[in-house]
Every structure is written in structure tokens, then in C-alpha cells.
A and B are shown apart, each in its own frame.
Chain A
Amino acid sequence: MAEQQAYTVASDSETTGEEKTSSAYPEIAIGIDIGTSQCSVAVWNGSQVELLRNTRNRKLMRSYVTFKDEAPAGGVSDELAHEYDMLSGAAIFNMKRLIGRVDTDPVVHASKSLPFLVQTLDIGVRPFIAALVNNMWRSTTPEEVLAIFLVELRAMAEVKLKRPVRNVVLTIPVSFSRFQLTRIERACAMAGLHVLRLMSEPTAVALLYAQQQQQSAHENMGSGSEKIALIFNMGAGYSDVAITATAGGVSQIKALAGSTVGGEDLLQNLMHHLLPNMDDLFSSHGIEQIKRMGLLRVATQDAIHKLSSDISVPIDVDLGNGTKISKVLKRTEFEEVNKEIFEKCEALIKRCLQAAKLEAEDVHDVIIVGGCSYIPKVRKIVTSICKREELYSGMNPLEAAVRGAALEGAVASGISDPFGNLDLLTIQATPLSIGIQADGSNFVPIIHQNTTTPVRKEQIFTTVHDNQAEALIIVYEGDEKTEEENHLLGYFKITGIPPAPKGVPEINVCMDIDASNVLRVFAGVMVRGTQYPPTPFMEVRMPTVDDGHGWSTQALHKTYGSTLDLVTVQKKTQH
């Protein structure tokens, strides 16, 4: 593994080189599925998608990085069993849950019971994350941990493929904000990888489904009529739903829905159930406490896995210091403890069906993927909402997303297949609405949720004060009514509005998402009857916010109040 030493994590500020520009053959982008708990890599090998195996011949690798004296080592190459690392406090994992979140986020707070240090000050800045090395908390960031892991994945792929790897297609949860996407892209850049496409996990599964449908249509000489599939993906960190309409290798995403509910929540609820005073016992993060926390975690995780096939499971774990857990856990008990989580999954699927304007009966195939797809209760929820006995059985639940990503990698790299296996297209949709703050503190969407991309939409706003010369454009992403509940993407000011009574000036705000999912916001003043605007238009690539943006809107409100506000000119007729 001499080659591996050549790879280092580039510094934050360094843009990765553009060394490779033209070659006779386009580089086929590899697909990477970074799961909260597991990770895999796949690539189009010229005739089909192939999953890459690590030196231990495994296709699925644990997503974690262990910090040691010398160099950190990730779950790709590390020989140590994850479970033992977890007890020492030196392993950082669940970075996909932590990345791009501020310390007021409930998901960050829920991560405090992980067996490493997650410290919050609750002031809207990034949380402090550290691994225990030689009895000291050594600080790191989710981006850095992810980058170290990606460097290992890249090295593994390059050894396997015997070529440099630069372009990647990454799968991401539906509920990720655009700010979180920039953190993922930054981690990739630090690892020397260029993100060709980011696609949500169920969208990747939809592409794999489209390919399978097309192949079977070829075999049966069928007409290839349109098929609707509902995809439910539940991993350790996130749950996603997508509804896709597929025909002739084209997969059109009709609706998406996502949430931060995942296997990690099931695990934590059960841990709290087994040890009700867990949070108090572990709050000081001593070495012994971390070990106990790790032991409880491993035992609980094992129990959940066993409950997928068994009706009950004995739990016997000695946490030391007189704390012993010894009981038989029934599957029904596990389901009762996590009732709320399962209800949230139900609501998510229903919301997606509603957004797609479909009834359960309209769905041809129901696909369930992700680590939690083995949990009987999860399967039961999905089958009962979709009113059917059978689930689609054509794909491996743990490999579907990465296979779809590899297909997208080949398609987006411009590879064609003589047998038409890559005659595919995904028409993606926006998972969250994007808009600005207007009409008081309301969120006014300009691009709505589930809009087909690429897209460009515009809307006219006007001033709220007479002779208002400036207007503040605050861009948010999300689907909540008030701006505070949505994700802030950035803000800028439009200046030089000509003096006029309120309601007269026309402020045009235009939003554009291209095929690479880049969002640009254009804004400026229009004056009727003139050829040119009084001041140049603004073009802003979003998001512009950086870490610690949690309180910047409060600061804006405090400084400007409503002096720079806007209102919509005409209520939208389109939903």
C-alpha cells in the first residue's frame, strides 16, 4: 500500500487542481454512497455496474475514522473491528448526521450520546467534535472526517481500477439543505474528488429501477408503458421517499420527501429504554463512561439486528460500576418504544404520495431499500400504506443506491453502451422549495418543492415604504411557512431603487437551478418604460452563508427591522 501515502487531505482553502481536462476517453465517474453507518463504491465497468471490494473483500465498509497518534485511519482499510474502536472514544462516526449543522440543531443534540465528544454552545455555530487520542480530546470536523474517509475510498478505487479517480457521483439524503451540500462538496475537494453530480438516494434507486424496467421491456418486446414506483429508503441517519414515473429508460421524479429520522433514532430510543438515566451517566464523557456508552450501543445494535428475524432477544451486558442490563427484549416492545419514529415514516410516505397527486393504487412497484429495510415493522408500514402484499424484489436493499449512482456516473460522463443499457435519463426534482423572505416574516417560495430541474422562475416584489431606496433579499430553502423554520442560504441588498411611493418599484427576483444543481439568484430593480435598470442586476450563487450562520438572520432583523422589506406584487396562481 505504498501508493496510499501519496494521498493527503488538501487544506480547506485550496481549490483542487484542474490537471485533467482532456483525454481521448472520458473518465467514467464512480458512484459513492456514503451512508451514516456504511459506505460503498461502484462503477460502470463497460457492460454493467460493479461494486468495488476493499482488501478484506468487503463491498460495504463501515463509515468511521479512528484517530490515532500518527495518522487517522478509516473504515475502508482499518483492520480493527469497528465495535472495539467505538469503545475507546477514538472513532468518529455518524458524520453524515453532523455535517453542515449548527449547534442548535436537534440532530446535533441527539448526537451527544455518541461515544466521542460532541459539544454544543447553543449559539448557532458549528458544534465542537473531538476524538480521544492519548487521553486528550483532539478536535476535528465532520468535513475533515469525511475527507479522510473519502481519501481512503479513492485510494481503494484507484488500486482496483488501475487509473486515477477524480469524478464522482455522490448520493445524499433528500432532506439535506444546500448548505450541507456545500460541506459535502468541500469534503470531496479536500479529498481531491470532483463532484460531477449529487443525487438523492431514492433518485439513484429510481435510475436503477428505470434500467431494470427497460431491460425487461427489451426482453419481453413489450411496449415499455409507464410504470410508477414508490421508493422508501431508510438508513441509519435519514429516511427518504421518492415517487418516480418510468418509461423507456427515462425516470421522472414526481415527488420527494425526506426527514432526519433513521436507524440511529431507533437505536437511541432503545438505549434510553434499556438505561433510562443514560444521559446523566454519560454526560461528563470520562474514559470509563465512553467505554460503557460504547458497550451499551453495541449490545443494543446487536439486539435490533436480531429482532429482524427473531421475535425476542436476550440482552446481557455488564456496563461495569454495578450497572448491569439483563433482560429479554420482545420485538413488540422495540416497536412500542419507537412508535413515534414509525409514525413519522408513515407520515413521510403519505406526504410524498399526496405531493405526487397519486393514490396508493396508482403505484405499480413499491421498493424498499436501506439498512432499516430489514426491520419487519418498517416493511409492514410500507406495505400497508401502499396496500399490497409484495414488495419489489429486483434489487439488493443495501446496494441499490450506489448502483444507481454508478449508472448516473456513466450517463453523466457521456458513456454510451452498444446494448442500450445506458440509454437512461433521470429527470430530477427539487426536494425543497426555495424562496425569499417577504410579506413580513413570511417565506415566499419562488421555486416550489418537487419542481423539475433544470428550472428558472421569477417573481416580482415591491417596496413597503415610500421612497425606499434599498431592499434586503434573504434567500431560504424549505417548506415551512415562516422564514425562521427554513434553511438560510444567503442574503444581499438591492440598492439604488428610484424614489417612488411604496408599491410602485418593481423588484425582480429570478432563481435558476442548472443540471448540476447549482442555484443562482438574480435580482434587481425594473423601471417601466425604460430600457435599462437604474442599477446593475445582481447575480449571486447560493448558498453564500458560511459556518456559524445560525444567528445571522436575527442580526439582520435587529439591525434593519422592516426598513428594507419587500412584499409580493401578485399572489401566485401556480401551486
Chain B
Amino acid sequence: MVQSLALPAGTTFPFSHQSSSLSTAGFRSDRGVTFPRRNAPRASIYAAAVAEAQPALERRTTASLYDVLKVKENASAKEIKAAYRNLAKLYHPDAGSLPEESSDGRHFIEIHEAYATLSDPVSRDLYDLKLNLSSRRRGFGSSADGICVNGSEFYPTRRWETDQCW
């Protein structure tokens, strides 16, 4: 009852969770809506073992964090910051300049995660390294999964996917 009072009645939630999302896959695909490019079913179960999954980075697509922020890979720290702010103005749920389905809050989380990694010089170097390695080892797709960078905050160890990928 407290909750129903607290509900911002009369406004739409930036995103709502469907009651149909009862299975794991459903639970995940409920995120799949928000991360449209995610290849949900297979990744979903296995993502479970990630100690602290960073959903934005799990995407098994060719988009790099640079693509998320729409900057070049040699962008300066200033350019990255400016790009983040510009995108935040478009995609933050409060900005409200986009139609409902595209401003569901998830894009902003993705953008922020990308910014968090690329704005820190150390984590950006690690990410760049990972990006290079993965494109060299595998000719296809720049999905970086499988390269273990232990202890890096943006890329937790994922043995199970290593097993699958090789």
C-alpha cells in the first residue's frame, strides 16, 4: 500500500517490468528489451556466474565502448567527457526528448558504463588492450569474451564462456 502511494501515478515509468518475466530467460529478456542488441538466451544463463555483471559490457555484438559513446578510438579524455554529456542529455530518462521506448533508462546506463570505463585512464588502457587482443586472436567479431583480464573492474573472469568460445 505504501508502494502504491509512492507510485508516480499519472506518469509512465521509464521502464516497467512485465509480470510475464518469470523464467530466467524471461528475467533476462526483460533486460533484453532494454539491451536490444544482446543475444539473450544463451548468454543469459551463463552470465549468472559473473560476480558482478556489468550488463552493458556483456553485449555480444560488435559495438565497442567507443561506439556506445560515438567517439573515435583515439578520442581525447575531453572529447569522451563531452560525448558523454551530450548523449546524457539525449538519453537520460529525465531529459525526455526522445520517445518513450528509446528513453527507457537502459541506454543511459549503457552510456554511463562506457564512460566510466573510458574516462579512467587505467581501465581505458586495459580495455584497449583487450579490444586489440580480441580482434587479433579472432578474425571475426570483436567480441572480447574469453580474454581474461583478472581483477579489472570492467571485465570479470568468465571461464564458462571461454570454454564455449574456443
Contact = CB atoms under 8 A, between A and B. Distances in A.
A524 B14 contact: no
Interface in A537-575: 537, 539, 541, 543, 546, 568-575
B41 A516 contact: no
A154 interface: no
A21 B10 contact: yes
Given A226-B81, A411-B94, A454-B108, A18 B10 contact: yes
Nearest to B6: A185
B143 to A, nearest CB: 21
A167 B160 CA distance: 49
A412 B92 CA distance: 11
B165 interface: no
Contacts, number: 158
A514 B109 contact: no
B58 to A, nearest CB: 11
A532 B15 CA distance: 24
B8 A536 contact: no
A182 B55 CA distance: 29
A145 B50 CA distance: 48
A77 interface: no
Interface stretch (B23-31, B59-67, B68-76, B131-139): B23-31
B17 A454 contact: no
B148 interface: no
B28 to A, nearest CB: 10
9 contacts: A18-B9, A167-B10, A515-B92, A516-B13, A529-B45, A537-B24, A570-B51, A572-B52, A575-B153
Contacts of B15: 514
A541 B17 CA distance: 11
B48 A526 contact: yes
Given A454-B93, A528-B45, A533-B24, 6 more contacts: A423-B89, A457-B52, A516-B13, A524-B27, A532-B24, A569-B49
Contacts of A486: none
B156 interface: yes
A536 B22 contact: yes
Interface in B1-17: 1-6, 8-11, 13-15, 17
A370 interface: no
Contacts of A297: none
B152 interface: yes
Contacts of B4: 15
B88 interface: yes
A452 interface: yes
A573 B95 CA distance: 32
Contact of A454 (B1, B48, B105): B105
Contacts of A532: 23-25
A185 B96 CA distance: 23
A352 to B, nearest CB: 19
A195 B156 CA distance: 38
A508 interface: yes
Contacts of B24: 524, 526, 531-533, 537
A432 interface: no
B153 to A, nearest CB: 4
Given A250-B89, A529-B45, A196 B2 contact: no
A506 B45 CA distance: 11
B38 interface: no
Nearest to A184: B6
Contacts of B92: 425, 427, 515
A166 interface: yes
Contacts of A485: none
A48 to B, nearest CB: 20
B151 A573 contact: yes
A186 B94 contact: no
B27 A16 contact: no
Nearest to A507: B48
B85 interface: yes
B10 A20 contact: yes
Interface size band for B = 35 or more
B109 A516 contact: no
Interface residues of A, number: 68
A459 interface: yes
B6 A195 contact: yes
A247 interface: yes
Contacts of B45: 526, 528-531
Contacts of A318: none
A574 B153 contact: yes
A436 B165 CA distance: 34
A306 interface: no
Contacts of A514: 13-15, 93, 105
Nearest to A522: B27
A194 B9 contact: yes
Nearest to A571: B51
A546 B3 CA distance: 11
Interface in A1-32: 13, 15-16, 18, 20-21
A543 B36 CA distance: 30
Closest 10 CB pairs of A and B: A515-B93, A570-B51, A526-B48, A189-B5, A185-B6, A574-B153, A536-B22, A454-B105, A533-B24, A250-B85
Interface string B127-162: 000000000000000000000000111001000100
Given A15-B4, A21-B10, A427-B92, A248 B49 contact: no
A520 interface: yes
Interface string A20-50: 1100000000000000000000000000000
A570 B86 CA distance: 36
Contacts of A166: 10
A88 interface: no
Contact of A516 (B8, B21, B25, B95): B8
Contacts of A574: 52, 153
Contacts of B89: 248-250, 423, 425
Give the interface centre of A456, A514, A515 by most chain B CB atoms within 10 Å: A515
A196 B8 contact: yes
Nearest to B46: A528
B53 A458 contact: yes
A530 B21 CA distance: 17
Contact of B94 (A13, A167, A182, A412): A412
A265 to B, nearest CB: 30
Contacts of A250: 85, 88-89
A572 B153 CA distance: 9
